[in-house]
Amino acid sequence: MTTGPLSGIKVLDLTAVVVGPSCTLTLAEQGAAVIKLESPEGDLLRKLGGPAPSPDMSPKFIHFNRGKRSIAVDLKTAEGKAVLVRLAERADVLVTNMRGGALERLGITWEALHQRNPRLVFCVIAGFGRRGRHHDSPAYDTIIQGMSGFAAALGRVLGEPRFAPFVLCDHITGIIASQAITAALYARERSGEGQAIEVPMYESMAHFVLTEHMFRRTFDPAGPTGDPRVMNPDARPIPTADGYIAVSANTDAQAFAFFAAIGRPELKDDPRFNSVVARFRNVEAYFTLRAEALRTRTTAEWAAEFRRREIPAMPFQTIEGMLEDPHLWETGLLRQEVHPTEGPMTGLGRPVTFSAAGPDDLPLAPRLSADAREVLAEAGYAEAEIEDLLGSAVVPPPG
């Protein structure tokens, strides 16, 4: 049995694609028992996340849904809603990223389920907060990147608005939601009562961006937005004689060591660079100096030099390079696994460790409705009832 700080916590997962599954993956990695309740068609990410040996087991789906059990239920039927209610009565947490109107039409509301299970923590991950005018508008990661300043921030650096090549808003909101859920579970330990949580993507990402880039618009009189140190085009992996290296010399000690490393120790007395404030005010000159200096030696030579002087720096890596990084294999983040239907694969372990938890032994991502019979039995259904549900298409049998 999986161990961790959330061992014994039962999570009913009504989420799909990335934002919700990233939240429930975190809960599973921390020991929670997660039941993934899918539509009869399955989570869209099963097909949207890339090719795989089986058409409904995309690479993205596999990585976002390990440690979960799957049951498919047709919630548009009365029998399907009854299955959901029975599972919710036995759950500690319910997580959904369905839009508010769809939830209400299905009768999946905090008010209805709280009456049946007062200890339930009910978390809705929404595109937009319910108090605002966009509250029931559809949202995907790119919609939120475009609204929240992510694309605009990249535009300042690249010359035109661009989406980041990651579903960053989904990932970040999912992590925020998992933290909110554990906070609500902690509160329940003291009060005995569950509560409703709303985690809106737009507000969460607006908070994320504005804490960094509201900048001098914070004050009156207002100044410009955007942290120039982060927005600078040279805030990037720095070219060397044969590749790139990532360097971050922020403190005075680090910056002065950097000046010595590039053979310019006198710059520590230059009024443009002799303090944190001076380097911030002259960030363009500082970054230009840095970029020009690092072209003179190889990445390996600079990495050794910076390590010797305790300057934060590491060689640039591609995605392919990460998959060969011995550190990630040594820590267990990367590991060889064999999926029961997809065969040999490179798996991802949990990045966080707990001294009181056992090994990371989460089961691999399930096929659609693979655990239907087991989940229904745990919910108290008799064998005859299970057969009726599986034979009626209300609960499709394992594919």
pLDDT of 48-102, one tens digit each? Answer: 999 999 999 999 999 999 999 999 999 999 999 999 999 999 999 999 999 888 8
* Number of CB atoms found within 10 A of residue 335's CB: 14
Kindly give, in sequence order, each residue whose CB lies less than 8 Å from that of residue 102, ignoring residues fewer than 6 positions away. none
Q: Which amino acid is at 259?
A: F
Domain 238-315 has CATH 3.40.50.2300: no
Q: Can you give the pLDDT at residue 124? A: 97
Q: Which backbone phi and psi does 85 adopt, to 5 degrees?
A: -60, -40
Domain 10-208+327-392 has CATH 3.40.50.10540: yes
1: pLDDT strictly greater than 70: no
pTM above 0.85, yes or no: yes
Residue whose token pair is 């921390």:
30
pLDDT of 170-222, one tens digit each? Answer: 999 999 999 999 999 999 999 999 999 999 999 999 999 999 999 999 998 88
Q: For residue 195, what is the enclosing H or E element?
A: none
Q: Can you give the pLDDT at residue 2? A: 61
pLDDT of 131-177, one tens digit each? Answer: 999 998 999 999 999 999 999 999 999 999 999 999 999 999 999 99
Spatial separation of the C-alpha atoms in residues 249 and 380, rounded to whole Å: 60
Q: Which backbone phi and psi does 72 adopt, to 5 degrees?
A: -95, 130
pLDDT of 333-343, one tens digit each? Answer: 999 999 999 99
Strand-strand pairing, 244-247 and 343-348: unpaired
> Per-residue pLDDT averaged across 237-246, rounded?
98
- Please, what is the average pLDDT of the chain? 96
Residue 158 tokens, joined: 């690249």
> Per-residue pLDDT averaged across 236-247, rounded?
97
SS3 114: helix
Of 256, 260, 92, the closest CA to residue 181 belongs to: 92
* Number of CB atoms found within 10 A of residue 358's CB: 12
Spatial separation of the C-alpha atoms in residues 369 and 19, rounded to whole Å: 21
**Where do the structural domains in the chain lie, given as residue ranges?**
10-208+327-392, 238-315
More confident of the two residues 252 and 234: 252
Residue whose token pair is 């599973």:
28
* Number of CB atoms found within 10 A of residue 279's CB: 20
